[in-house]
Structure 1
Amino acid sequence: MPASRRKLAALTTVGAIPLALTALSATPAAAHGTLGDPASRVAACYAEGAESPTSAACKAAVAEGGPQALYDWNGIRDGEAAGKHQENIPDGKLCSANSDEFKGMDLARDDWPATKVSAGSYTFKYKVTAQHKGTFNLYMTKQSYDASKPLKWSDLDMENPVATKTDPTASGGYYTFSGKLPDRTGRQLIYGIWQRSDSPEAFYSCSDVTYGGASTAAATTKEASEPTDQQIAADADKSTVDHSGMDMGDHTNAPAAQGGSENLAETGGDSTTPYIAMGGAAALAIGAAGLFASMRRRAAGGRHVR
């Protein structure tokens, strides 16, 4: 084997492995979504601006956990939930799903941006960036809920979800489904759980709402809104979760998204899929190293024969 070819083989081998490892380390986590209507805390705060939100509650959330949580607005999850929501998430940590990154969402305050609602039918919209098969369950707090205290599981009316939907079809960037809000007064909260059926993974959201009636907080609270698609697109490079599956068109028969991200609701893929793919890249690099080493041994053996 000529010296020039041996040098090229060595360089290719050495270069392939770092590239594969770099790709592995740079692979972002899969993105999924959050309640857009009524807007969740993380969505409402992100809409105000991750670096400099305007409401007191969102400022406090950023001071507590930093702005990255807002850039990662669609990533509040538990990858090993498997339906064990109450077992895995302790009281006081419901809005962060017990994630240190999102701990600012757990602050006990009665001034979070909120959506004005009333009892009766309600159309919920879940802003989705990666589709998965699974079931949505949304729960309202009991009338006795005190927003100035940490949210506990016992604060939620778990026996009577305000909405339940399995495998909805996404359209226009949302899962849309109907529910019914119970009679309440003052400040309340809607807790969303989206449990995948093709993976143990589940996603969580807290949406603050205010009913009419005697409530100082309801009168002074900033109206919650969700981030625009333009804002999300502009900040995509600041997020640590993958937005490549985001498609604002009709997802019913959507092909694989640009960049290789597929509709996981159809493929049955889970949050490990990108890492498996990158693991394959690393394996190819290692295989290439072995191949070049074998070629070098054969070349050396040939010289000994001669």
Structure 2
Amino acid sequence: MSTTLAARRRAAISALIVAVASVLLLTTALAKIADAHGNIVSPASRNYGCWQRWGSDFQNPAMATQDPMCWQAWQADPQAMWNWNGLFREGVAGNHQGAIPDGQLCSAGRTQGGRYNAMDTVGDWKAQSIGNNFSVKLYDQASHGADYIRVYVTKQGYNPITQPLGWGNLELVGQIGNTPAAQWTPESAGGVSIQVGGTASGRTGRHIVYTIWQASHLDQSYYFCSDVTFGGVTPSQSASPSAPASPSASPSPSRPPSPSPSASPSPSSSPPPPGGCAATYALTGQWPGGFQGEVKVTAGSSAITKWTVTVTWTNGQQITNAWNATVTTSGSTATAKSVAHNSALSAGASTTFGFLGSYTGSANGAPTLTCSPS
């Protein structure tokens, strides 16, 4: 072999090694970016708590009866639990109420293409017992630190089991300002954590602790709902967080099927008449014996001050829980009436209400809807 040819081969091998090393460095960097988020680990946020309880056993049908709110969330989108670190929005610039509508606080305004929508589902989420003087523990995997962290608690009289969460339900009970990651506590799983104290005087029973974390590295705002019961003993928060699941982790392909994104809407899809309204239905989640639905109400060419939607089922379904509407049921028909915050609609404007339901057998067809401005 000539000296020139050998030199060329050595140069080619060296170039290949450099290229492979560059790819590995880039992959590592991207992985760190993907992991560069955090969560409330105590009292656990909704998706972090579901992942802690069921992450290694998420296909267990016992979850449907033992932990039904987690069950509907797993069925809606398992990635919301495996990737518990994406509940953020960018570019909010502090205008949190402007960026996130009422009823969507736990999903950060249906962020990430709707991945976390099930976090907004109203119902009996597993709650952690805490005292009125408490603290939340935020785990920051990528050690970004915070421009600020604000802790809110729902007002006495609010019922998270039956009411969607709105900004008017919250009261600020604790906060910290700019705190670099160097001032946080190192965790054995990697990253750092910090505790923010709160005082919720006069609270008893079920509530939601709502935390906003404004990370320091970018204009990224993170939002977390933690379900709690006041009147208990505040738990120790010294335990290290569990190592998070890989953002690229894929659940077993044998998991229960996800709801069909092409669920048939209600036949009531024609334009609403002047002074009237129209309603359309979407199936947003389904699991054996249960489902989650959403109805969109749209005003006609004239404004309306209130609305009523009649939902007629064809397969024996029953609505078991609803939000953003007052629902009564008689046989196969449910009547949904607007509530104070979504009664008035300007011409062409829309609002939604949602519900959980039950069904038997294999049929879960769409209902027939009628809408009237009364």
TM range (shorter): 0.5 to 0.7
Structure 1 residue 225 displacement after superposition: 11
How far did residue 36 of structure 1 move?
2.4
Q: 2:77 aligns with which of 65, 69, 80?
A: 65
Report the counterpart of residue 92 of structure 2 in structure 1: 81
Distance 1:195 1:52, change over 3 A: same
Aligned to 1:239: 247
Aligned match for 1:178, one of 193, 197, 201: 197
Instruction: State whether structure 2 residue 58 is matched by structure 1 residue 39.
Output: no
The answer to whether structure 1 residue 90 and structure 2 residue 98 are counterparts is: no
1:138 aligns with 2:151: yes
1:99 aligns with 2:107: no
Post-superposition shift, 1:188? 1.5
Query: What TM-score results when the alignment is normalised by the length of structure 1?
Result: 0.60
Matching residue of 1:272 = none
Cα offsets for 1:163-213 (capped at 9, x unmatched): 11124532253312322013234322111001134531222211111235x
Give the Cα separation in 2 of the matches to 1:92 and 1:22: 43
The separation in 1 between residues aligned to 2:178 and 2:216, in whole angstroms, is: 9
Q: Using a 3 Å threshold, how does the CA distance of structure 1 residues 8 and 92 change in structure 2: closer, same or farther?
A: farther
Greater strand content: 2
Report the equivalent of 2:54.
49
Give the direction of change, closer, same or farther, for the CA distance of 1:20–1:198 in structure 2 (3 Å limit). Answer: closer
C-alpha separation between the residues in 1 aligned to 2:99 and 2:23? Answer: 32
Does the 8 A contact of 1:109 with 1:149 survive in 2? yes
CA distance in 2, matches of 1:177, 1:211: 17
Within 5 Å, give how 1:261-276 maps onto structure 2. Answer: none
Residue 5 of structure 2 corresponds to 3
TM superposition shift of 1:25: 5.2
Q: Residues 24 and 105 of structure 1: is their aligned pair in 2 closer, same or farther, counting only changes over 3 Å?
A: farther
Q: 1:20 to 1:105 in 2, by over 3 A?
A: farther
Q: Which residue does the alignment assign to 1:126?
A: 138
User: In the alignment, is the contact (CA less than 8 A) between 1:144 and 1:155 conserved in 2?
Assistant: no
Q: Deviations over 1:283-305 (max 9, x none)?
A: xxxxxxxxxxxxxxxxxxxxxxx
Cα distance in 2 between the residues matched to 1:108 and 1:38: 19
| Aligned partner of residue 69 in structure 2, secondary structure | helix
Query: How many pairs does the alignment contain?
Result: 224
SS at match of 2:135: strand
Whether contact under 8 Å (2:37, 2:140) holds in the other structure is yes
- Residues 49, 39 of structure 1: CA spacing in aligned structure 2 closer, same or farther, 3 A cutoff? same
Q: Deviations over 1:219-238 (max 9, x none)?
A: xxxxx999x75852xx65x3
Letter in 2 for 1:44: G
Under a length normalisation based on structure 2, what TM-score does the superposition of the two structures give? 0.50
CA deviation after TM superposition for structure 1 residue 155, in Å: 2.9
Q: Is the 8 A contact 2:137 2:196 kept in 1?
A: yes
Unpaired segments ≥5 residues, structure 1: 213-217, 219-223, 242-306
Distance 1:33 1:114, change over 3 A: same
> In structure 2, what residue type is equivalent to 1:63?
Q
Aligned-residue Cα RMSD (Å) equals 3.5
Offset, 1:15: 6.4
Whether the 8 Å contact between 2:146 and 2:213 is mirrored in structure 1 is: no
User: Is the aligned partner of 1:152 residue 2:166?
Assistant: yes
Q: 1:78 is matched by which residue type in structure 2? A: R
Could you say if the C-alpha distance between residues 90 and 14 of structure 1 is closer, same or farther in structure 2, counting changes exceeding 3 Å? farther
Counterpart in the other structure of 2:299: none
One-letter code aligned to 1:151:
L
For residues 32-65 of structure 1, the C-alpha deviation after alignment (integer angstroms, 9 at most, x for no partner) is 3222222211221111022535421111111111
- SS where residue 2 of structure 1 aligns? helix
Is the CA contact 1:57–1:112 (under 8 Å) kept in the aligned structure 2?
A: yes
- 2:118 pairs with 1:113: no
| Change over 3 Å in CA distance of 1:105–1:167 after alignment to 2 | farther
Identity of aligned residues (%): 30
Moved more, 186-195 or 97-106: 97-106
> Take 2:107 and 2:206, find their aligned partners in 1: how far apart are those partners?
20
Q: Of residues 190, 205, 210 in structure 2, which corresponds to 1:191?
A: 210
In structure 2, C-alpha distance between the alignment counterparts of 1:109 and 1:133, rounded to whole Å: 30
Q: How much has 1:149 moved relative to structure 2?
A: 4.1
